[in-house]
């Protein structure tokens, strides 16, 4: 079952430039009965391989901006550790509610993203670096805390604010997930938040799924897939937002 979860998460991640944590975490919690904290840590381990497989596939198509990825990663790896440590002090019901809110945000963003247009003006390089650095810091913290790759922040910023092409933004986002996810996963592992028995199957599924998703992303429209994904996340968010203290 862990391989199937990894496969589905990798496929969606490769298609839309996300790490797949928003899919892996609810499936691990609901189907495999993994505790919320452990699901977040285990997800981050798999996300490292989502980013690795996806960024290689995108780079072969020339769809990765390595300079932007470096700036994003420099600040993301600093805050990923903080976000991961925060999960250790949050009770499980609060973590579930926070994750539920995240699911709603991602679902809405996936649906409305095609109706936004990036700023047409040329952005000064210094302003661009500042925007990327701040985005990286927010991404790292969110990734470490929520067990996700952070593509839901990086991709819209690069497309809407910096005018980057969609495929390049997705490929760049996937590359940043490698060091960011590694830092967050390491911290979660030290906190005991990684289900090691699930990791091999998750990685196997993720590597295959992400490579396939990235391949199809350059030839297929992802509109219908994103809508279905958004419906799934909204349905899951109802359960998480309704979590109560034990």
Sketch the domain layout of the chain as residue ranges. Answer: 2-241
Q: Decide which of 221 and 100 is more confident.
A: 100
Q: Is the per-residue pLDDT at 121 higher than 60?
A: no
C-beta of residue 149 within 8 angstroms of C-beta of residue 177: yes
Q: Place 115 in a pLDDT band, splitting at 50, 70 and 90.
A: low
Percent residues over pLDDT 70 in the chain: 87
Q: Is the pLDDT of residue 35 over 90?
A: no
Can you tell me the mean pLDDT for 42-55? 89
**What's the pLDDT score for residue 221?**
59
Q: Contact 203/87 with Cβ under 8 angstroms?
A: no
- Which of 74, 95, 93 lies closest to 83, judged by CA? 95
Q: How large is the average pLDDT for residues 165-169?
A: 82
Quick one: average pLDDT of 175-181?
A: 91
More confident of the two residues 186 and 234: 186
Q: What angle do CA 218, 222, 224 make, to 5 degrees?
A: 155
Q: 172: pLDDT confidence band, cut at 50, 70 and 90?
A: very high
Calculate the average pLDDT of the chain: 81
Mean pLDDT of 62-78: 93
The pLDDT value recorded for residue 134 is 94
Per-residue model confidence (pLDDT) at position 244: 72
Q: What's the average model confidence in pLDDT over 75-98?
A: 81
SS3 of the chain: helix, strand, coil, percent, to 5: 80, 0, 20
Q: Over 80: is that where the pLDDT of 246 sits? A: no
């Amino acid at each position: 079952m862990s391989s199937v979860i990894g496969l589905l998460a990798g496929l969606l991640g490769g298609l839309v430039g996300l790490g797949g944590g928003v899919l892996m975490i609810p499936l691990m919690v609901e189907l495999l009965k993994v505790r919320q904290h452990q699901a977040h840590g285990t997800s981050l381990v798999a996300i490292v391989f989502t980013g690795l497989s996806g960024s290689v596939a995108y780079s072969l198509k020339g769809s990765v901006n390595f300079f932007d990825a470096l700036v994003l990663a420099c600040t993301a790896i600093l805050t990923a550790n903080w976000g991961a440590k925060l999960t250790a002090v949050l009770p499980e019901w609060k973590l579930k509610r926070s994750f539920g809110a995240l699911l709603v945000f991602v679902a809405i963003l996936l649906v409305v993203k095609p109706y936004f247009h990036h700023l047409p003006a040329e952005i000064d390089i210094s302003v661009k670096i500042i925007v990327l650095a701040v985005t990286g810091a927010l991404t790292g913290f969110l990734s470490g805390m929520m067990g996700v790759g952070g593509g839901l922040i990086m991709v819209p910023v690069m497309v809407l604010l910096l005018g980057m092409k969609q495929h390049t933004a997705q490929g760049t986002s996937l590359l940043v997930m490698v060091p960011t996810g590694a830092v967050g996963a390491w911290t979660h592992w030290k906190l005991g938040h990684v289900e090691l028995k699930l990791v091999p199957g998750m990685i196997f599924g993720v590597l295959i799924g992400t490579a396939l998703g990235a391949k199809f992303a350059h030839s297929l429209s992802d509109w219908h897939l994103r809508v279905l994904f958004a419906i799934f996340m909204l349905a899951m968010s109802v359960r998480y937002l309704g979590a109560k203290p034990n």
